[in-house]
Amino acid sequence: MWDWSTAEIWGYISRHALPVNPVYIKLRELGAPEHFMRVSAMLDGNRLTEGRLTWLRRGWPALFEELAVALPRMREYI
């Protein structure tokens, strides 16, 4: 799977009737670009300067605000 294309991954999921993580659906509804549609750790250093936290704030605003209270510098990356 490491070198599979996005189409190959979604094809595999479809062929095997695997459940889809609802975060993917939410990101698609928000209009997130394909390269941001990766479900992993909620917060990490990857893509912070490219707007990754924007999707957290748009899709889950209450959670974003709760995290920003504990990590106020998060707002610098929006």
Q: What is the DSSP string of the chain?
A: -TT--HHHHHHHHHHTTPPPPHHHHHHHHHT--GGG---S-SS-STTGGGTHHHHHHHH-HHHHHHHHHH-GGGGGG-
Q: What pLDDT does residue 53 have?
A: 87
Between 12 and 43, the more confident residue is 12
Residue 70 lies in a domain: yes
Residue 1 lies in a domain: no
pTM: 0.65
Residue 73 lies in a domain: yes
Q: What pLDDT does residue 55 have?
A: 86
Write out pLDDT tens, residues 46-70. Answer: 777 777 888 889 999 999 999 999 9
Query: Residue 37 — very low, low, confident or very high, per pLDDT cuts 50/70/90?
Result: confident
Residue 6 lies in a domain: no
Q: Is 44's pLDDT higher than 80? A: no
